[in-house]
A and B are shown apart, each in its own frame.
Chain A
Amino acid sequence: MITGNGIVKTFKQRGSVLGGREVRALRGVDFSIAKGGAASFIGESGCGKTTLGRIIAGLETYDGGEIAIDGVPMSSLTPKQRQPHFRKIQLIHQDPYSALNPTRTIHQTLRAPLALRAKQTGRSRTWMDERAAEVLSLVGLDPATVLARYPHQLSGGMRQRVVIARALTVDPEMLVADEAVSMIDVSLRLGILALLKDLRERLGVSVLFITHDVATARYIGGDGDLYVIYRGQVVERGPVDTVIADPVHPYTQSLLSAIPVLHGLEQPGEQPVVPLEALEAGQDDAGCLFAPRCPFRGERCETERPLLRLTEGVPQEHACFYPERRSVIARPMSEV
């Protein structure tokens, strides 16, 4: 449904005395997400996954590369012509509270995009009200109780559902969930995740899940690709279960090793990888971006930057000269 090639994004920081500094948020990223499919982006904060998600949702510009939606290259369109395409992709924010206008009731919040839709498709007032009730039911909320409320009267989980309902009012083809559950209580997270999964099945909506919590990515996008992003570059990409069980890039292995092990319920992985402590690396040293922290770095890594590609014997794409499968994640106790 959407593909991107060589996406580059640079932020110019307006530094005061030192003059502007450039931050390479994305360094030539490729991605593709099928209609009704799923994808997940994982990485640490500042790696560029949020920026990429926002670019995909049309909320951020990009400085290089091509994006095509439903086969139509965006570069061939004017900014105004691009809007209806990007509108098919809706972003679900991390913070459900700031994503809703605190001075408007849920009904008012839903009415605005519905009014737009009604005008576009020539529908009536009654249709708007019915559709509002419909999207609320789709996300598991009772319209009668919720419509007249203000956001602060709803719990975090309910608010996030309202945000999803609002996204559904424009009949999107894809939802980008950026850390959509990290600010919600643990016991309620699964409900939202299950909802997103359900919407995929029922409405055929694709879901792009951006998170630092790999297990949640697996829950929704288990049948799609997992992209591991480090400092603006995709360092590993492949089917979710493959990357989790048999990661080959040292960074992926570090990330997965860092996931807390529920001792008593599971046992630690066999070969956990701990990255080295590194001082502030320069922006654009030649060589692999992860090299300063990589416990397995070789000579080649310091001078040449590996590109994302397939090599023999490894099912998933990776950006490493010395990929090696290591079993790092925790396993249930019963597997002993």
Chain B
Amino acid sequence: MKIKRSLGERIFDAANCLFLTTILFCTLYPCWYVLMASMSDPNLVQDAKGIVFYPLKFGLYSYIDVLKYSQLWISYRNTVFYVIFGGIWSVSLTMFAAFALSRRNLPGKNGILMFIMITMYFSGGLIPTYLVIKGIGLLDNPLVMMLPGVAAANLIITLSYFRSMPYELEESAKIDGANDYTVLFRIMIPLAKPIIAVISLYYMVAIWNNYFTGLIYLKTRSLFPLQMILREILIQNSTAEISMQTDSAQAYAENVKYAVIVVSTVPILCVYPFLQRFFIKGVMIGAIKG
């Protein structure tokens, strides 16, 4: 059954489409610009003053320099390492904690949950945290990039997922003589694959993005995560090069930056559309709780 739409509605639909297309364009253009500018002749990009829709005199010279810059690749490797190990560590702890807190027969579970949730709204702040990390000898230690393990928000999502599972699953396993570990590893974890995907994604994106931890706790350059080196190249350089250098050198420096952005960002941008259904699911589970 199709109801004929009124003129007003059709005008609204057209305006809406136009508006959303504009938003689409505004989101895409900055990224497209960086991609195209990175493959162009630096001087032509400088003359284009921010408007580049296709490669201007195609060339990949800056990419060659970027590939040769070993510090970038060391930090890339570090970040991959932090993301994988930090991710596994955080996801495992979150699963354990959420499983335990979702059991009905755990005395004090509400108290423990409260103990964790308070930290979402009240914290010691930067300086006391820094002093604690320093005090326990984690300063300039790569382990600091994988801390603090469990994020309260991810714990709550996982918890509400476990709570939604039928109690009979556990009960029948217990009758067959299973202990809590068996229930967790043999029954719950295999059933929790969607939520594992969701929180892995959240943890990994968080660790990947994090530059601040590296900035305050790491001193040794060979331990730096990718974002710290990106900050050196992209942010600090940008203030230093405003004066001093000649025009063409500055244009080339900009070009190198574009190439660095592409190299460091494209992998994650190629992956996320395929993970979309997972993170939407995560938000929805969180929303039910909220």
A complexed with B: no
